[in-house]
Amino acid sequence: MAYNIGYFVGSLATNSINRTLSKALIKLAPDTLSFTEIPIKDLPLYNSDYDADYPAEGLALKQAIEASDGLLFISPEYNRSIPGALKNAIDWGSRPWGTNSFARKPTGLVGASIGAIGTAVMQSSMRSVLSFLDAPQLNSPEVYLQFKPEDFEADGTVTNQGTADFLRHYMGEYTAFVERVLDATAAGHIGDPDQ
């Protein structure tokens, strides 16, 4: 069975190393996954004044999330936390109250930085947010990647075999996780999505 995976790149920078990582993950993923980027750069800053008349950008984001079988977050770490643009997108996708688009969506978290901790603290923050949003998460393996430019080509080709094998393994595990969550949801083992 094929699954459509919506993915978020947490950096807005055109030369983002996490955008390169997203290309690598797509190349290394099993053939049963197809990918659609969910863009976040044009969203206004969320506030509840919008809830009565959601703007087109917010509606498009929610529709893209809801059309996805699973979600993948590929993000840097800013000041030991979630980048503002990504957190803003999450806030848009979870509102208005009672229309949480993230509920029951199987999620994966990966991130790259030039530092040795490779986005570990950001991912910890994200796990707390996704747990509140009732979005099941692949907990293991974890991907806290120290990005080395010599290991990646611009198109996402991974030239370091060990890194390629690790990321390929992650994508295989993520695929199996998506299947398990969707099977459990279809069987009625996961509760009501509305918050």
Indicate the length of the chain as a whole number.
195
Average pLDDT rounded to a whole number, residues 59-67:
98
Domain 3-183 CATH superfamily: Flavodoxin domain (3.40.50.360)
* Model pTM score: 0.94
Q: Dihedral of CA 94/100/104/105: which sign?
A: negative
Average pLDDT rounded to a whole number, residues 79-105:
97
Average pLDDT rounded to a whole number, residues 124-140:
97
DSSP secondary structure string, the chain? --EEEEEEES---TT-HHHHHHHHHHHHS-TTEEEEE---TTPPPP-GGGTTS--HHHHHHHHHHHT-SEEEEE---BTTB--HHHHHHHHHHT-STT--TTTT--EEEEEEESSTTTTHHHHHHHHHHHHHTT--B--SS-EEEE--GGGB-TTS-B--HHHHHHHHHHHHHHHHHHHHHHHHHHTT-S-----
pLDDT in tens, 154-189: 999 999 999 999 999 999 999 999 999 999 999 887
pLDDT above 70: residue 192: no
Average pLDDT rounded to a whole number, residues 126-133:
97
Look at residue 191 in the predicted model and tell me its pLDDT: 58
Look at residue 194 in the predicted model and tell me its pLDDT: 47
- As a whole number of angstroms, the distance between CA 157 and CA 92 comes to 33
- As a whole number of angstroms, the distance between CA 146 and CA 110 comes to 11
Query: What's the CA angle centered on 189, arms 187 and 194, to 5 degrees?
Result: 110
pLDDT above 70: residue 88: yes
pLDDT in tens, 142-162: 999 999 999 999 999 999 999
